[in-house]
Amino acid sequence: MPFGAPSYLIYLAVFTAAAAGCLVGAWRAYRRVSLPGVRRGLIGLLLTSGLWALCHVGVLLSPGLGLKTALYETGLVVGFGTVFAWLWLCSAYSGRALHRRPSVRWAALILFLAVTATKLTNPWHGLYFSAKLSAVPFRHLEVNHHVIYWLTSGLSYALAAVGFFMLSEPLRRAQVGGGKLAGLFGLTALPLGANAVGYATPYLLDLSHEPIGVAAFALGALALRGNPSSGNPSSGSQKESCLEEASRAGREARPSLVLSADGRIRNYNRAAAELIPALRGGTSRGETSPEGTPQEEIAGRHLEEALPRLARALEVETMDREEGPDGEGPDREGPDREGTGGDMSVEDMSVEDMLDEGPQQKETLEVKGSGGESRYYRPVESQAGPGAGRLVVLQDVTERVLRRREQASRLEVLFNQSPDMINLHDAEGRVLEANPRFFEKTGHEEEDLQGMKVWDLDRSISREEALELWAGMEIGDRRRLEGTYRRKDGSAFPVEVDIRRLRMQGKGQFMAISRDITDRKVAGRKLQRERDRLETLFESLPSPIVRCRAEGGRATVEEANPAFAETFPVGREEAEGQDLNDLLVPAGQEDAAAEIDRRAVEEGPVEHQVRRVAAGGEVRDFQLQVAGRQPEEGPPEIYAIYTDITDRKRRERRLQRAEALFQNAQDALFIVDVESGEASDGGASGSRDGAARERGEAPGEGGLSFSVRRLNPAFEEKTGLESEDLRGQDPKEVFGAEVGAEIEEKYRECIRRGEPMEYEEEVPIGGETTYWTTRIAPVVASGETQMIIGTARNVTEDRRREETLREAKEEAERAKEEAEEAKEEAEQAKEEAEEASRLKSALLANMSHEIRTPLTSIIGFAEVLGREAAGLELTEESPLPGYASTIERSGKRLLLTLNGVLNLSKLQAGQMEMEAGPVDLAQQARLAAEELRPEAEEKEIGLELETGGGPAALAEAEIVAKADEGGVQIVLRNLLSNAIKYTDEGGVTVRTYREDGDQEDGDQKDRDQEDGNPQEDSWAVLEVEDTGIGMDPEVAEVLFEPFRQASEGLSREYEGTGIGLAVTREAVAQMGGSIEVETEKGAGTCMTVRLPLAGETEAA
């Protein structure tokens, strides 16, 4: 150890003294500081600073580097803790609550732990500091601080600066010792200079010198006493020092003084000095001469001597606080209440309005402001603990004092003008004072109050009862009872008395506010009679009635009448105490029932139709009336009345069904009211009845009148009449006098019969006579017919149809006769036609034999002549070959014409038999084409054959038609010969293919193929198309008529008889097919023949 170095010994002595001073200061703070927060903060600051100084002592005394470094790190941790002890002290000293907030405490703890962890882990990361041993000026620990150290130091100094800012306010407010304490607090910052010198120069060690400043502050602050001019140090507080006195005075924003235990002024704040001139060395208006004492002499003097008026007010306040219950009123520290209106009655005033509450003049301090206005302050004293000083805070009660004065004035006015009787009496029962209303009602005079006792006035209470009642009342208590006041003349009347115990003029007294309740008693007796009557009704009414208590979402049954037990499946005693909705409401309707109860309580009476479980478990319909009531005490009440409307609902449903039938009926329905015209004179009535009997009418029937009541929509639609227009009118007004009289006669007849009747009638509607079938029925009630209900069906159309049918029948009979005549003529014509047909057949047979035979010979000889002429060597000018050719060609043409005429005649006469069978259409087309190909080649045009054409799906199918083979050949030859004849260029094409109606329905096609039957719309198609001259489409329509050609007349270009296409159409028609033509002039013609398609079985 370098004990030989003076600087080493100085450092060791200074830090040892600092540690000892801090620890001694902590012990003294524990003993002497009475403010808990300040005490804890100061002790924490001194203990951490003392431990920090001890760590420095250990660093100086330790021999090795490792131990020195460990103690230095410990000192850094403890030193960082002094920052939070310092903030705690500053917060408590300035009267703030930061040190008591959990969030602030947790934040400080987390920050402390984070910094501590960084410091303790420095050997691993080395970011805080590095240390080594140095021999100058003596052997010590030389520390090289790194960046985290400077960041932590900056944070520490910033937090310490926050503490200084918190301290500035109370030190500025405190008027005694504030400067000295500021200087002592400033000592804690002086070591910063030593730290700077040690860091920058070799004159001091680079260590933290803060413990030295804290020790100096602690010793100085705890040693600092009050004003030494008092000359009596023992007269001050036994515990409080100037440090604590300044805190107590400075933390209050209100005017405050700190007194010693024996009543000497120790300190005060700036607000008190500004309020009381004597505290700042002046003399206020009305003050005594001692209050003009200079400011430096105020501290240490007795309050009675320096500020006598404040001392008297404080004494009175202290006495009031120490009094027993009789002297205590409501909380004097409570907030001021708003003043009451001037029209308030005495009984309506609250207890606080009548109590002698608020500061009295003698316990308030009146201070004149700069403008001459008065402000009132009430001294409130508190003490930190036994032997500690007293803090006197001056509360501004100006508003309360002024309000109390206003209340006193208003109370006096209310007392004199109250409509109620008011009297004041003491605890012995002596009546002290009464208001004019009291004298008016009782007949007494003011001098009668001398010697009057409460029990002399109220004969319903004895002396012992009154004293016992008053003894049990505290200040502010209130009792209400009824009594009987005795007037001066000896008469009595009932009263309601409201007794309140008050503190008035510093004494406990009683105020009795009485009200004459004679009228109320009379009304009460009437009300009782009414209650008895209602109770009788409640018990005797046939409808169920129940009273419930609405509480917690339940309707608890309190009372039910006998009808309730008879209607519902629960007895009266059993229902009491249970939830009404649980007892009666069907499942699923609980929320709706609760909503009805809520509306009755909050909105007023409610009426609903509901379904409830009745006796026997049956769910019935009820008309529910619910009313809510809020009694003076307790939860709201619900009164429920149930009216059973099940039968009525059933009748309503029946009426609704009847109404629906009436409105929606397809027949015309009407209702007619029947009214009796009976006279009041019995004799006249009897004479009318006799006359009615003579006419065959029922008695009283002649005086009946009828008026329309209702018409249904069907009636209005069918007649065009409106129900609203006809309501109340009689049939004569609706349909005219004559028709109306007939209708009324039908009504009377129905009434006489007493049963339904049906009849037909003619009714004029809309200027047109209509016919109706009407059925009416009487509705009888109480032995009289009240109305007539009827249905009417318009049969006008039926009548017209019958008339039309009758005319048609007559016409049919005439037609029948004519048909018979025509039949005879037809039979005769038939016979003539048959005869003509026989003649025609004979003619045709004859022509076939007599003409065809020589014609065949002519053609044969012409062919022979042609061949012979060809074999002869004739000159070119010889006409013989030409003649032979002309004879042959003309003969063949004549033969063709003859064959065509014969074929057409046979077809039209049905003599050519067409036998339907399978015909290979393609083969027939090839045969015909080969036969006529020479003609085509002669004209140098093409003749092509396309078989199996059409859709791809059917291209390869064999085309087998169900037709006659000879008929097919006739068709093919005629079509091909025509096409070749009218085609000069191009060619002729013959096509055969199959055509199905639905080519996309592959499934249907497969099914057709499976069963061997074609579809109904499948055809074998033969098509002949040419590129010839064509024709107009209009001309094409007449091509199929016999002897018609595209070119006709003597100038026609092409030869022919014009019967070929007619024969073709007849042949196709008889084979069950059809033929179509598509042509355009100059473009050619296409003939399409469709023949029935043979089935597979037929083709086989």
DSSP-assigned beta bridge partners for residue 641 = 545, 625
Q: Which residue has the higher pLDDT, 551 or 1051?
A: 551
What are the φ and ψ backbone dihedral angles of 1090, each rounded to 5 degrees? -115, 120
For residue 258, with 0-12 CB atoms within 10 Å meaning exposed, 13-18 middle and 19 or more buried, which class applies? Answer: buried
Helices (H), 224-267: 242-250
> 1026 and 1001 in one domain?
yes
Banded pLDDT at 649 (limits 50, 70, 90): confident
CA 83, chain centre distance (Å): 58
User: What angle, 0 to 180 degrees and rounded to 10, lies between the N-to-C axes of helices 210-223 and 191-200?
Assistant: 160
Banded pLDDT at 1023 (limits 50, 70, 90): very high
- Three-state DSSP at 640 gives strand
> 503 and 590 in one domain?
no
Tell which residue, 1096, 932, 936, 1092, has the closest CA to residue 1021.
1092
Kind and range of the H or E run holding 268: strand 265-268
Rg (the chain; Cα; Å): 69
> 623 and 491 in one domain?
no
Q: Say yes or no to pLDDT of 284 above 60.
A: no
For position 991, what pLDDT does the model report?
A: 93
CATH of the domain at 1056: 3.30.565.10
Q: Say yes or no to pLDDT of 825 above 60.
A: yes
For position 289, what pLDDT does the model report?
A: 39
**Do 975 and 992 contact (CB within 8 A), yes or no?**
no
Strands (E), 397-464: 421-425, 431-434
Output the 3-class SS for 310-359. HHHHHHHHHHHHHCCHHHCCCCCCCCCCCCCCCCCCCCCCCHHHHCCCCC
Banded pLDDT at 1007 (limits 50, 70, 90): very low
> 200 and 67 in one domain?
yes
> 672 and 627 in one domain?
no
Of the chain, the percentage scoring pLDDT greater than 90 comes to 6
| Angstrom distance (rounded) from CA 152 to CA 584 | 78
Token pair 């006197």 in the structure block, residue: 392
Kind and range of the H or E run holding 773: strand 768-781
Sign of CA dihedral 184, 185, 189, 191: positive
Q: Say yes or no to pLDDT of 722 above 90.
A: no
| Angstrom distance (rounded) from CA 72 to CA 240 | 37
Token pair 């209602």 in the structure block, residue: 534
Q: Which residue has the higher pLDDT, 215 or 324?
A: 215
Kind and range of the H or E run holding 554: strand 554-560
Q: Say yes or no to pLDDT of 750 above 80.
A: yes
> 781 and 726 in one domain?
yes
How does pLDDT run across 168-195, given as a tens digit for each residue? 777 777 666 666 666 666 666 667 666 6
Banded pLDDT at 1067 (limits 50, 70, 90): confident
Relative to beta strand 987-995, strand 942-949 is parallel
> 1083 and 991 in one domain?
yes
Tell me the average pLDDT across 905-913: 61
> 207 and 102 in one domain?
yes
Banded pLDDT at 14 (limits 50, 70, 90): confident
Q: Is residue 406 part of a domain?
A: no
Lowest mean pLDDT among 253-262, 584-593, 1023-1032: 253-262
Q: Which residue has the higher pLDDT, 1099 or 152?
A: 152
Q: Is residue 335 part of a domain?
A: no
> 737 and 638 in one domain?
no
> 925 and 1023 in one domain?
yes
Helices (H), 559-671: 562-567, 572-575, 580-584, 590-602, 646-664
Q: Is residue 394 part of a domain?
A: no
Banded pLDDT at 1005 (limits 50, 70, 90): very low
- Three-state DSSP at 231 gives coil
Banded pLDDT at 900 (limits 50, 70, 90): low
Tell me the average pLDDT across 389-406: 79
Q: Is residue 758 part of a domain?
A: yes
| Angstrom distance (rounded) from CA 65 to CA 1071 | 137
Tell me the average pLDDT across 816-826: 83
Q: Is residue 900 part of a domain?
A: no
| Angstrom distance (rounded) from CA 736 to CA 743 | 10
| Angstrom distance (rounded) from CA 780 to CA 753 | 12
Lowest mean pLDDT among 307-321, 354-368, 887-901: 354-368
Q: Say yes or no to pLDDT of 683 above 70.
A: no
Kind and range of the H or E run holding 1075: strand 1074-1080
Tell me the average pLDDT across 855-879: 74
Q: Say yes or no to pLDDT of 702 above 70.
A: no
Q: Is residue 28 part of a domain?
A: yes
For the chain, the domain total comes to 5
| Angstrom distance (rounded) from CA 569 to CA 566 | 8
CATH of the domain at 159: 1.20.1070.10
Lowest mean pLDDT among 336-345, 538-547, 549-558, 921-930: 336-345
Tell which residue, 952, 979, 955, has the closest CA to residue 1054.
979
Residue 586: CB atoms within 10 A of its CB come to 12
How does pLDDT run across 590-614, given as a tens digit for each residue? 888 888 888 888 888 988 888 888 8
For position 493, what pLDDT does the model report?
A: 92
Banded pLDDT at 1025 (limits 50, 70, 90): very high
> 47 and 186 in one domain?
yes
Contacts of 310 (CB under 8 A, 6+ apart): 276, 303, 365, 379, 392
Tell me the average pLDDT across 106-116: 89
Q: Which residue has the higher pLDDT, 292 or 414?
A: 414
How does pLDDT run across 791-814, given as a tens digit for each residue? 888 888 888 888 888 888 888 888
Tokens of 760: 């037909």
| Angstrom distance (rounded) from CA 1090 to CA 480 | 123
CATH of the domain at 598: 3.30.450.20
pTM of the model as a whole: 0.38
For position 699, what pLDDT does the model report?
A: 47
| Angstrom distance (rounded) from CA 339 to CA 409 | 12
Q: Is residue 1079 part of a domain?
A: yes
> End-to-end distance of the chain based on CA atoms, in angstroms?
142
Contacts of 801 (CB under 8 A, 6+ apart): none
| Angstrom distance (rounded) from CA 292 to CA 283 | 5
183, 216, 244 — which closes off a domain?
A: 244
Instruction: List the domain range (segments joined by +) for residue 550.
Output: 541-649
Most confident segment among 92-101, 255-264, 285-294, 517-526: 517-526
Contacts of 437 (CB under 8 A, 6+ apart): 418, 419, 420, 421, 422
Banded pLDDT at 988 (limits 50, 70, 90): very high
| Angstrom distance (rounded) from CA 515 to CA 494 | 8
Amino acid at 450: Q
For position 535, what pLDDT does the model report?
A: 80
Of the chain, the percentage scoring pLDDT greater than 70 comes to 73
Q: Is residue 259 part of a domain?
A: no
Tell me the average pLDDT across 240-248: 65
Banded pLDDT at 327 (limits 50, 70, 90): very low
State the average pLDDT for the chain.
76
Strands (E), 883-932: 917-920
Tokens of 82: 């002094």
Tell me the average pLDDT across 481-509: 86
Tell me the average pLDDT across 148-153: 83
> 33 and 111 in one domain?
yes
Tell me the average pLDDT across 376-388: 66
| Angstrom distance (rounded) from CA 146 to CA 144 | 7
